[in-house]
Structure 1
Amino acid sequence: MTERERGGIEAARAELADATVCVMGYGDHGGGAGMVDLLTAVGARIVLTEARPREAFSAEVLARIDRDVAVAHFGGHDDSHLDGVDVLVRNPAVRFGHPLLAAARRRGIPVEMEMTLFFRWWPGRIVGITGTKGKSTTTTLADAVLGAERPTLKAGNLRVSAIRALLPGEADPEAVAIIELSSFQLEGLGESRRSPEVAVVTNLDEDHLDVYPTVEDYWAAKASIWLHQGADDWLVLPADDAATVGYVDASIAAAGATGARRLLFADRRLDDGVDGAWTEDGRLRARLDGVEHDVVGVDELQVRSEIAVLDLCAAVCVGLAEGESVAGMAAGCRAAREVADRREVVVVADGITFVNDTTATAPRAATATVRSFAHERLAVIAGGKAKRSAFGAFADELAASADHVVLLRHPNYDASDEIAALLAERGVADRVSSASSLADAVDAAVALLGDAGGVVLLSPAAASFGLFTNEFDRGAQFRAYVTERWGA
């Protein structure tokens, strides 16, 4: 790994005290607020440039901005917002090629992100986790596994500001930071040539093709998590995902990089001589330096779905890399739970299990979830805004496993149209209905299952924008409606 200053807030203060820092995009998930808090604490002068109008923010947020920000520009970005600026910090939602970023680079103004600064200043070790699906679950499970024996910090793309952890009293400076990293966050790490000591790649598939021109461009953004590792670092990969492992190998070779030590995870026994974690005969097992360990029984886990158990194997690989004892890993595995909004069982009532999988915004993720409920009577709520994704495999799985499909409808929801057409091609149009609100979709799914019951699964395979603010708003609305109607 590229050497970090590892100086905590004092390093931040030495670098930014009395500097003028422009924060580009306040954001919705705490990153902008956390950055402003840190910059205030170290004595920087803050300029905010925000695309949204002032009235788009709550009174509470505006009060914080007015208190801490020296100059706030709302309603768009202009080159003049860079006048007198020493450093620009961009929100992950700001695209790499934005004109204001290009203007900053022309002026010689360093462009940073929350993650580039966190990686530079966090005094402890960092575990970075990315992938097209499973990264949030794996991050949470790795936090449980490592947290059994040491302090941890869980942050990143989980809507938790990492940079705020540098503030005094916010986090143990000896903690291992376990950071979920999106492709957008990793773009900044690529610019600064930084990778974590332990990198986990759950999988690589197509996603965000509404932003990246090709799948290869999307994967190239992910590559920053492993390309700048050293020989003493660790890289955790899925043993049976040939496309992911092949791309990682090719990118390392093309870059002439050193490459880190590897640990693999699988749902079958790993080949002799291969270190990592797997499930076998109802047990979760692990191997490091050729020494094999029986960690825990699958029947002892609170994590039940096959997908989440595989993610737990990846988390155990993190434990191996960080020197966790077998007893500690076992305790962490037993304590681990699945994550809200990801195959989350919300309510079981009247013979129906309501499952919230709103973060399945890509077809591959939703396909895997639908397959995991194939043995149940199943009504799937799906659809939304497409991200230039291919829905063929998802339609195949719906045709094979779902008794009913309720598609969400909105003028923006082109994915719903495509899924409906694909299901008609597969001869199952009679299983498809539509709803223009989530409440109507849930009601329709319940009515279609009838007295025999089954599973109502929200697993959209598409983005939420149109009926919802984001996927978390979609999940929150599902959770609230189901709980109100059928909860205790």
Structure 2
Amino acid sequence: MMTHSRWQGKHVLVLGLAKSGTAAARILKQLGAKVIVNDQLAFDQNDAAKELQQEGFDVVCGEHPESLVHEGLYAVVKNPGIRYDHSLIKKALKLQIPVLTEVQIAYDIAPCDMIGITGSNGKTTTTTYIHDMLVGGAKTPHIAGNIGVVAAEVANQASESDIMVVELSSFQLMGTDTFAPKIAILLNLIDAHLDYHGTRDEYIEAKKQIFMNQTKSDYLIYNADDEIVCEMIKDAKATLVPFSTKKKVDGAYVEDGYLQFKGEKIVTVDSFSLPGEHNVSNALSALAAAFLAGGNIKTIQNVLQTFSGVEHRLQYVTTKKDRKFYNNSKATNVAATVTALQAFEQPIVLIAGGLDRGLSFDELEKELTNVHTLVSYGETSELLAEAATRAGAKAIVTETLSEAVPHAFRESNKGDVVLLSPACASWDQFKTFEERGKAFLDAVYHLDD
């Protein structure tokens, strides 16, 4: 593990445990910090807190005493999901105490370069692409961050011959102050997580943290087709590397039927393995990062031609009676579902629904031109059915996802795509979008042939 004088002897409050908080507490202690841990779950039900206490940590559970935040505190390291209107966070900010996430700790201690990936959609696919493209190269790639692997833990085990490929949410980036990856990627921006950030401007400022501390010796790969992104990167000091599916740029682009990088033809569009322009866009950003990180062209080409996608993200499931089933459970907002719909030329039976956040489905309604039937379920089932009817599609309302799948199969025709792309969060019926996706897979595999 690398040492870092920043944390030596400093008083630090770790707020919220789960995987990231527990890892942060242990690493901070190794770095010589004086750590106190605070978690909302009562101690008698809190296995992580019990373990930390046995390891000698001061642990406070079941409440959030304001006395935990005081002028002698160096920093609060919080779980990314904890909002900034939390009482202890508000007090820390008032006292001008830094509020950080474990991503900053990861950056502080990492002995190797980092590639950081952010955007409203496509982060996990792009992160996985880059990792696979760098396998077998000069540096050993390690996936970390919002994709499910705690970045600080990966950094703690890394060596100089490694490279970290880190998926980063706005929640994580907002809690950084010196973070500056060697290669940053900004994929796209839509209005998202405004319940957390409060305003669109705050959300944008959080995303900009991925490049705000970069210098000319670093790279910022950005989406030249996204107007918001192009406006954002005007503040960047890094070397800019654009990517585009629509025009030739000084980076990665599509021309003459090829995915290209700075004039070099990489693979043909026809041999590219995933459906949809959005996946071409993700791939362009990934191949740019892989080349800049010293990836092998043969490996990059092979990945582009064979990559089968990431689970729950426009994942091909199976074909039954000439109907192709796709699992896009990760589509927790309208924009992600619109992107999925645009990926297919075939007629679509769309399965959608989930948590009602009081949002409009007007933008989805405009994109239902290729959807002949929408099968809805959950809290938003009626609203989605109304949108489908207005768009001229057949609407079928069900209560649960397991009921929706056989309805969708019966309504489909040979050559159709049956697509789960909910356009809503999963929390009305499922704990996570992964759980929702697995329920879809189960329902598909149990359909009568």
Query: TM above 0.5, one fold?
Result: yes
Q: Which amino acid aligns with 2:352?
A: A
Contact 1:293 1:326 in 2 (8 A): no
Q: Distance in 1 between matches of 2:293 and 2:261?
A: 14
> By how many angstroms is 1:316 displaced?
1.2
1:146–1:389 Cα change, 3 Å: farther
Q: Distance in 2 between matches of 1:435 and 1:53?
A: 38
Alignment of 1:155 onto 2:130: no
1:19–1:323 Cα change, 3 Å: same
Q: Distance in 2 between matches of 1:20 and 1:373?
A: 54
1:135 counterpart (120, 123, 135): 123
Alignment of 1:264 onto 2:253: no
- For residue 464 of structure 1, give the secondary structure of its aligned residue in structure 2: coil
Q: Distance in 2 between matches of 1:304 and 1:217?
A: 33
Bigger mean CA offset, 232-241 vs 126-135: 232-241
1:195-243: CA deviations, max 9, x gaps? Answer: 3221111111111122233323222221111222222221112222223
Alignment of 1:423 onto 2:388: yes
Structure 1: unaligned runs, 5 residues or longer: 1-7, 253-257
Alignment of 1:445 onto 2:445: no
- For residue 360 of structure 1, give the secondary structure of its aligned residue in structure 2: coil
Query: Match of 1:91?
Result: 79
Contact 1:379 1:456 in 2 (8 A): yes
Q: Distance in 2 between matches of 1:300 and 1:442?
A: 31
Query: Match of 2:324?
Result: 353
1:72–1:214 Cα change, 3 Å: same
- For residue 346 of structure 2, give the secondary structure of its aligned residue in structure 1: coil
Q: Which amino acid aligns with 1:174?
A: S
Q: Distance in 2 between matches of 1:76 and 1:487?
A: 51
Bigger mean CA offset, 384-393 vs 122-131: 384-393
1:286-344: CA deviations, max 9, x gaps? Answer: 10xxxx21122344444344322221111111123324454453344345441111001
- For residue 95 of structure 1, give the secondary structure of its aligned residue in structure 2: coil
Contact 2:111 2:159 in 1 (8 A): no
> By how many angstroms is 1:160 displaced?
1.1
Bigger mean CA offset, 215-224 vs 361-370: 215-224
1:10-65: CA deviations, max 9, x gaps? Answer: 22xx55466554321123xx3223324424554655433222445765x6x56644
Alignment of 1:285 onto 2:269: no
Query: Match of 1:5?
Result: none
Q: Distance in 2 between matches of 1:333 and 1:172?
A: 28
Contact 1:210 1:387 in 2 (8 A): no
Alignment of 1:42-121 (within 5 A): 42=31, 46-53=35-42, 61=48, 64-68=51-55, 70-82=57-69, 87-106=75-94, 109-121=97-109
Query: Match of 1:477?
Result: 439
1:85-110: CA deviations, max 9, x gaps? Answer: 65421011111242202323455654
1:175 counterpart (162, 170, 185): 162
1:432 counterpart (381, 395, 411): 395
Q: Which amino acid aligns with 2:79?
A: N
Q: Distance in 2 between matches of 1:234 and 1:184?
A: 22
- For residue 217 of structure 2, give the secondary structure of its aligned residue in structure 1: coil
Alignment of 1:392 onto 2:362: yes
Contact 1:363 1:389 in 2 (8 A): no
Alignment of 1:237 onto 2:222: yes
1:198 counterpart (183, 205, 209): 183
Bigger mean CA offset, 333-342 vs 309-318: 333-342
Q: Distance in 1 between matches of 2:343 and 2:448?
A: 24
> By how many angstroms is 1:283 displaced?
2.1
2:155 counterpart (147, 153, 166): 166
1:327–1:453 Cα change, 3 Å: closer
Q: Which amino acid aligns with 2:279?
A: A
1:264–1:109 Cα change, 3 Å: closer
Number of equivalences = 447
Contact 2:331 2:424 in 1 (8 A): yes
1:471–1:260 Cα change, 3 Å: same
> By how many angstroms is 1:438 displaced?
1.7
Q: Distance in 2 between matches of 1:21 and 1:473?
A: 35
Q: Distance in 1 between matches of 2:161 and 2:144?
A: 15
1:239–1:44 Cα change, 3 Å: closer
Q: Which amino acid aligns with 2:2?
A: I
Alignment of 1:382 onto 2:349: no
Q: Distance in 2 between matches of 1:41 and 1:264?
A: 40
Q: Which amino acid aligns with 2:230?
A: V
> By how many angstroms is 1:446 displaced?
1.6
> By how many angstroms is 1:479 displaced?
2.7
Query: Match of 1:24?
Result: 15
1:361-398: CA deviations, max 9, x gaps? Answer: 1211110101222423x221112235565432211112
Q: Distance in 2 between matches of 1:46 and 1:434?
A: 52
1:228–1:388 Cα change, 3 Å: farther
- For residue 2 of structure 2, give the secondary structure of its aligned residue in structure 1: helix
> By how many angstroms is 1:140 displaced?
1.0
Query: Match of 1:255?
Result: none
1:152–1:435 Cα change, 3 Å: same
Query: Match of 2:377?
Result: 408
1:134-182: CA deviations, max 9, x gaps? Answer: 1111111111223341211211110111111133xx4344222111111
Contact 2:276 2:344 in 1 (8 A): no
**TM-score scaled by length of structure 2:** 0.89
Q: Distance in 2 between matches of 1:211 and 1:45?
A: 30
Contact 2:382 2:397 in 1 (8 A): no
Identity %: 27
1:214–1:420 Cα change, 3 Å: farther
Structure 2: unaligned runs, 5 residues or longer: none
- For residue 195 of structure 2, give the secondary structure of its aligned residue in structure 1: coil
The Cα RMSD (Å) is: 2.9
Q: Distance in 1 between matches of 2:94 and 2:196?
A: 24
1:124 counterpart (112, 130, 133): 112
